[in-house]
A and B are shown apart, each in its own frame.
Chain A
Amino acid sequence: MNKIETKNLNLYYGTFHALKGITMSVKANTVTALIGPSGCGKSTYLRLFNRMNDLIPGVKIEGDVLLDEKDIYNNKGMRIDELRKKVGMVFQKPNPFPKSIFENVAYGLRVNGMNHASFVEERVETSLKQAALWDEVKDKLKKSAFALSGGQQQRLCIARALAIEPSVLLMDEPASALDPISTAKIEDLIYELKNKYTIIIVTHNMQQAGRVSDKTAFFYLGDLIEYNDTNIIFTNPTDPNTQSYVTGRFG
């Protein structure tokens, strides 16, 4: 069964055709990397799955986006807040709220009406552990999130996304601003999280795509050029454009 899927998906920003007939499906408990030159539509594609593009004026979407085989756009039974509980997102720059470490992680629970103290505490601890941050912050949960380093803030944002127990995790260049140690932690984390989540990650780092993902999709100018097992993309890609891109000879 496909966890998420798009069928002949077109997206326009006004008259600009940003995604061109993308058909792609992702199995549960896998990591898929989206790669491609800047402006090719990776972030746009990622944002389809939590309907973040809807907020942008002038956006027109055609085709189907399915989560657990159900359409998430033309589906009266699927409210956006319900969808966002199932689909978490982590952005390129860590964006903690101006609150304590604890409240950052608890935020999604509280918004969703889950306020029972011991339940929240337990969920915060579990999420911080999953995000490999617990040991570093367990003695300062009341401190401001801004007191954390960049890499810690990013893991905090991951913990925040995990707290509401989504089944899909979208990550848009989650490690691009981090040092190698934080990057390695996030990559290990992705590997661990695969057991419970379906992950789609945008990355400009080819080695990272190779290390973390099962499948890789190469986008170029709004087209999905090649979608294949990651080891094939990095050993013997089918399309000459994919080969040029992964070997750093593009354009």
Chain B
Amino acid sequence: MTHLDVELKRLKDEIVEMFELVTQQMKKSQLAFIGFDREIAREVNFNEKRVNALELKIDKDCENIFALFNPVAIDLRFVLAVLKINSNLERIGDIADGISRYVIGTGNPFDKELIDITRVNEMFVMAVQMLSDVQKAFDSEDTKIARGIFQKDDLLDEINENANSVIENYIRSHEGNISQSLHIISAIRKLERTGDQVKNVAEEIIFFLEAKVLKHVSEK
């Protein structure tokens, strides 16, 4: 292994740690939100600091590799991809934290019926699934898995699109639950954005492995 290989391996280990941490955060925010568990919500809130610290550490390491090793070709694409994956993962961390805050800040547990009809839990399941797929794609350098992510995102989009009318109808018959309905719709929006962030990560993986730029391309 060259010195650069050692540094790249270290960087890979760090971003894998970031994947794991953020996936954990998303899983816990699901538990906190669906089960209305303030204890877990506070844990997510606390761990958000670790996500931020790791993001800074990875940024710094990328900067050092650029400055000291002048990586080119696949090495260059790898470091560029890690840099962008890092910031996408950090945003997913923010989202998990944001969702957990609804639990900390809301008075009453969410209405079970509302959770069911909005399909918000399905979104959590899919978001966590996509995160674990994209980590697998990165780990095993598998662009087929990365490409599979784009379809999975369709489910998140679909639930998100239907959510407005579902919630509208619900509010008509449950006027006392407006505030929690708004929390749920916000969580749904955030989960939809999580799908987009994971898709960005998948695009970066394909860029680094195949040197193909998929950003802003509709046919992937």
Among A19-27, A159-167, A187-195, A241-249, the stretch that binds chain B is: A241-249
- Let me know if A237 and B73 touch, CB within 8 A: yes
B73 and A234 contact, CB distance less than 8 A: yes
B residues with CB within 8 A of A: 2, 4-5, 70-77, 211
Inter-chain contacts of B73 with A (CB < 8 A): 233-237, 243, 246-247
Chain A count of residues within 8 A CB distance of the other chain:
13
The 8 A CB mask of A143-181 against B (1 = contact, 0 = none) is 000000000000000000000000000000000000000
Report whether B211 and A235 are in contact in the complex, using a CB–CB cutoff of 8 Å.
Answer: yes
What residues of chain B lie closer than 8 Å to A249, measured between beta carbons?
Answer: 2, 5
CB distance from A201 to the nearest CB of B (A): 18
Chain B residues within an 8 Å CB radius of A243: 73-74
A9 beta carbon closer than 8 Å to chain B: no
Taken together as a complex, chains A and B put the C-alpha atoms of A233 and B211 apart, in Å, by 12
Among A198-251, those with CB < 8 Å from B are 206-207, 210, 233-237, 243, 246-249
Query: Is the beta-carbon distance between A206 and B211 smaller than 8 angstroms?
Result: no
A248 CA / B5 CA spacing, docked (Å): 10
Q: Which of B2, B76, B211 touches A248 (beta carbons < 8 Å)?
A: B2
Q: Is A247 a contact of B74 with CB atoms below 8 Å?
A: yes
The 7 closest A-B pairs by CB, nearest first: A236-B211, A234-B72, A246-B72, A243-B73, A247-B75, A247-B73, A207-B70
In the assembled complex, which residues on chain B have CB atoms less than 8 Å from the CB atom of A206? 70, 72
With a cutoff of 8 Å between Cβ atoms, the chain B residues found around residue A207 in the complex are 70
A248 in contact with B4 (CB, 8 Å): yes
Bound complex: CA A235 to CA B79 (Å): 12
B100: min CB distance to chain A, Å: 40
Q: Are B70 and A247 in contact (CB under 8 A)?
A: no
- Say how far B201's CB is from chain A's closest CB, in angstroms: 20
* Distance from A133 Cβ to chain B, minimum over Cβ atoms (Å): 29
- What is the chain A residue whose CB lies nearest that of B69? A248
CB distance from B72 to the nearest CB of A (A): 4
Complex contacts, A246 vs chain B, CB 8 Å: 72-73
| Cα–Cα distance between A249 and B71 once the two chains are bound (Å) | 12
Cross-chain contact A235 with B77 (CB below 8 angstroms): yes
Smallest CB-CB separation from A209: which chain B residue?
A: B72
Residue of A nearest to B5 (CB): A249
| Max chain B Cβ within 10 angstroms of own Cβ: one of A234, A235, A247 | A247
B10 to chain A, nearest CB (A): 17
Give chain B nearest CB distance to A159 CB in angstroms.
31
